[in-house]
A and B are shown apart, each in its own frame.
Chain A
């Protein structure tokens, strides 16, 4: 069986900036995987390559065995991405937004799943509201619903809980965990390391475009005296700084 995500030697430059340096990463089907790193490490760039929003300068990226460039239609059908930025189309209501997103994937009779998403993301009473009328947290939930509307087996969440209150964050994670139990592969980027520690079975850490750690959460925690992911993260960043200075 193919890995859910398979990245081999991914390279990306933005002018003089070498944003990704021969990145290799495999996420197995059904995993709850955290991709961590400081700002500017290359997490969003890697996600953009995976989603086809950006084109790699080298290497290959596959989603459920489908090459994101050659078999882009299949790769995108298998992938749902929650973007980091809070973006929305101000012309439409919440329900219209989800129906349109569903239609892009050729799913025209998807009302039951859309209702289920609205219910689970506590948006049922806002279904007919225009996107402009929603709070930031609600817009974030619509973004998540949009990413899930075509029931992709692989879900990428790029800092999904940024700016979301505690109660909503908890309900969101319960829903995402349910999806993971149902077989969806989850790739998560977050700056809340305790979330990654609690939710994810495996963690990779990016720094300056390179993978500097890729192991189970358990093994990474074992390597720290305090047993906290935050300390592992800080220590890795410091080690790299020392190596760079030397």
Chain B
């Protein structure tokens, strides 16, 4: 237990020491999205009755920032440790593969939650956002960051070079987060893109999270819960199985 707590503490300390880059930078970029989109779309018809576009947009942006930062935390830490070779200090310890996994994932959850909270509180200054179903918001916040943090661990143990990690960021995470309904409702898309979006677990994370704030969503929060929970389980199971084998870590 002691080793697990230390690895978790180390991973949190690692991003906290560069919080200018890991917390403040996502805040700035998210607020820029908010300023630009909320301004451009101010006169756009209401997506849900009685909900201004900015109030629709903010939960999506908060969740997008949480997903991206949860992924970035575990993936960048692991790939940096592998490239510089200092992962050996963790691998030489009595930590089990489960402790290793949860320490990296929980640090991702903490960073994702911190970024989400900072973005949400800052956005509050622009538009008052209702929080109608706080339990659902919290549940999707935790599940989504576990999902993205796990994806980050998977990418981190697979990648051996920084450009391989950049490929994950640019060709997997970025499309999944941008084509997830953060900026729009699924029903506004052409049929092909709407159907494709229904295969994107990030869409369900954002839609369920938005339900927690607005009490309205594109699909039932229960359906979103099933898909996000199922994705979390499948990714965690796969990652734990690979860590148990020592895949790409213990040659």
Using CB atoms and an 8 Å cutoff, list the residues of chain A in contact with chain B.
14, 48, 51-55, 72-74, 76-77, 79, 81, 83, 85, 87-92, 96, 100-101, 103-108, 146
CA distance A178 to B18 in the complex (A): 40
CA distance A234 to B85 in the complex (A): 33
Assess the B17–A104 pair: CB atoms within 8 A: no
**Which of B2, B3, B89, B250 lies in contact with A52, CB distance below 8 A?**
B250
Interface residues of B in 81-140 (CB under 8 A from A): 81, 84-86, 88-96
Assess the B6–A54 pair: CB atoms within 8 A: no
CA distance A88 to B84 in the complex (A): 7
Distance in Å: Cβ of B112 to nearest Cβ of chain A? 19
CA distance A101 to B86 in the complex (A): 11
Q: Which residues of the partner chain B approach A54 to less than 8 Å between Cβ atoms?
A: 250-251
CA distance A79 to B10 in the complex (A): 22
B142 within 8 A of A: no
B246 within 8 A of A: yes
- Tally A-B pairs: CB < 8 A: 79
Distance in Å: Cβ of B177 to nearest Cβ of chain A? 26
B196 within 8 A of A: no
Besides A79-B92, A91-B18, 10 more A-B contacts (Cβ < 8 Å) are: A73-B94, A76-B94, A83-B88, A100-B6, A104-B94, A105-B3, A105-B93, A105-B94, A107-B2, A108-B2
Interface residues of B in 1-31 (CB under 8 A from A): 1-3, 5-7, 9-10, 13-14, 17-18
CA distance A108 to B91 in the complex (A): 19
How many residues from B make CB contacts under 8 Å with A? 28
Q: Which residues of the partner chain B approach A106 to less than 8 Å between Cβ atoms?
A: 1-3, 94
CA distance A103 to B9 in the complex (A): 10
CA distance A192 to B93 in the complex (A): 29
CA distance A73 to B94 in the complex (A): 4
Assess the B7–A104 pair: CB atoms within 8 A: yes
Q: Which residues of the partner chain B approach A89 to less than 8 Å between Cβ atoms?
A: 81, 84, 86, 89
Assess the B13–A87 pair: CB atoms within 8 A: no
Assess the A55–B84 pair: CB atoms within 8 A: no
Assess the A53–B88 pair: CB atoms within 8 A: yes
Assess the A85–B93 pair: CB atoms within 8 A: no
By beta carbon, the residue of chain A nearest B81 is A89
Interface residues of B in 198-213 (CB under 8 A from A): none
Q: Which residues of the partner chain B approach A53 to less than 8 Å between Cβ atoms?
A: 88, 91-92, 250-251
Q: Which residues of the partner chain A approach B96 to less than 8 Å between Cβ atoms?
A: 73
CA distance A62 to B185 in the complex (A): 60
CA distance A103 to B7 in the complex (A): 8
Q: Which residues of the partner chain B approach A74 to less than 8 Å between Cβ atoms?
A: 94
Instruction: Flag B32-75 by CB within 8 Å of A: 1 or 0 each.
Output: 00000000000000000000000000000000000000000000
CA distance A101 to B3 in the complex (A): 9
Q: Which residues of the partner chain A approach B88 to less than 8 Å between Cβ atoms?
A: 53, 83, 87
Assess the A104–B91 pair: CB atoms within 8 A: no
Distance in Å: Cβ of A88 to nearest Cβ of chain B? 6
Assess the B85–A103 pair: CB atoms within 8 A: no
Q: Which residues of the partner chain A approach B84 to less than 8 Å between Cβ atoms?
A: 87-90
